[in-house]
Amino acid sequence: VSEVVFQGGTILTIDADHRVLAGDVAAIDGELVHVGGPYTPRTRDYEVLDCHGCIVMPGLVQARVHTYQTLARGRADDLERMDALRGVIWPYEAALGEDAVSAAAELACAELLLGGTTAILDVGPVRHTGAVFAAAAQSGIRATIGKAMLDAPDAGIPPELRESAIAALDESAKLIARWHGAAEGRLRYAYAPWSAWACTDELLREVGVQARARGVRIQTQAAEGRAEVAAVRGRTGKESVAVLDGLGVLGEHCCVAHATLASDAERRLLAARRAQVCHCPSSDLKAAAGVAPLPELIAAGIPVALGADGAPWSNRLDGFAELRLAALLHRHRGGVRALPAPEAVRMATLGGAAALGLADRIGSLEVSKRADVIAVDVSGLHALPTSSPWSAVAYAARATDVCHVVVDGRLVVRDRRLHTLDLGRVRDRAKRAAARLFA
Ligand SMILES: [Zn+2]
């Protein structure tokens, strides 16, 4: 169908005035044409979604995920991040074939969409990143994806995963040619150099140059933990954000995940370059990596998004869980106003859109934006009685409360059923592939 109507909900627009409206939201050919008040379909080919008792809002955007890691869910529990990476995740990745990558990515995309996440920034594997793009294409999710780039000779990277800078850049260029702008623009590429400790200066500098030349974004991580900070200092003698900046990586087009241990100087540099930061509260807490200085990042004017990181790191790719945790986590230092519900919801939607460079296209419900819209059922016992929709979404809602999901105007979840992938097949493939990998 070309026209979709979310009928009769409470609408969180996430516009500049944080307006909350009653009525309908409608999209034609993927573009929002109506937000608030009654709507009558304008074409013959339309679908009406009953949203009474629901909050209708922009889909959640997660600016840090690793869909290819989903088969390693539960395999990195209670380990230091660096130990998990070297002992579990990299060996897992070295053993991944194309079919397993596809199974992992389909499982992730299904979980994400059913849980109301409509767009992701995804660091893919070193190899077979095309299979991640293909799974994202099939699932209907909006995804900006990049293959991981790892070329430092002394970072403990398994030989199967370490490439030369040239090979990593060549493969990225091929993926850009094939996938950047594919699926009517739903799929995009973003360079994904692993970090300042796992990449050489040569690679990082060239990523900086090529990303600008091609108008493609960059996703990486920095200050993500003590061992990682020490590794960057060992390789370069500097802090990780300073290394990224010195090599031309930082900028508005760059999203830096974690920033957990970002110093004052690093925060100033991120702000000065107008770089994006993706806060990953579950992942950081689980790995005991520290608590990111979110109030300070926000006070410095740095745009912040949220992400679950990969399934090994947070176990659930649940945008509502990250939203709630982010809203609560910083109050031990910042007090009850550290991140109020409306700001937290904005971070999980429009903040994520900005991190993908798509704030002018998605992240809020405004006429002429693309239609990435979800309906969240707040009639569950845990959300009743609903006093404020901000409160319901930030503190009470769960991924399983999402009942309808539209991405780019296409209905992908209706009445909690995913239309794009066969869930029985997704489950079987994932279980079989994981059993083989971890046998
Ligand atoms: Zn990560």
Please give the Cα distance from 70 to 297 (Å, whole number): 29
pTM across the whole model = 0.98
CA of 67 to the centre of ligand 1 (A): 10
CA of 269 to the centre of ligand 1 (A): 21
- Of residues 135, 264, 275, 159, the one with CA closest to residue 219: 275
Residue whose entry in the numeric block shows the structure tokens 């200066």: 201
CA of 123 to the centre of ligand 1 (A): 7
- Of residues 229, 224, 228, the one with CA closest to residue 280: 224
Please give the Cα distance from 24 to 14 (Å, whole number): 15
CA of 317 to the centre of ligand 1 (A): 12
**For residue 381, what pLDDT is reported?**
96
76 contacts 313 by C-beta, under 8 angstroms: yes
CA of 402 to the centre of ligand 1 (A): 25
CA of 182 to the centre of ligand 1 (A): 24
CA of 309 to the centre of ligand 1 (A): 5
CA of 30 to the centre of ligand 1 (A): 31
**For residue 156, what pLDDT is reported?**
86
Residue whose entry in the numeric block shows the structure tokens 């009928």: 7
Helix, strand, or coil here: 72?
A: helix
CA of 351 to the centre of ligand 1 (A): 18
**For residue 154, what pLDDT is reported?**
80
**For residue 373, what pLDDT is reported?**
99
**For residue 155, what pLDDT is reported?**
78
**For residue 233, what pLDDT is reported?**
96
**For residue 27, what pLDDT is reported?**
98
CA of 41 to the centre of ligand 1 (A): 43
Q: Give the DSSP H/E element, type plus range, for residue 361.
A: none
Axis-axis angle for helices 98-114, 423-437 (nearest 10): 130
Average pLDDT for runs of 10 along the chain of length 439: 95 97 98 98 97 98 98 97 95 97 98 99 98 98 98 90 97 98 98 97 98 98 96 95 98 98 97 98 97 96 98 98 98 94 98 98 98 98 95 98 98 98 98 96
CA of 308 to the centre of ligand 1 (A): 8
CA of 55 to the centre of ligand 1 (A): 30
Please give the Cα distance from 346 to 349 (Å, whole number): 5
CA of 49 to the centre of ligand 1 (A): 35
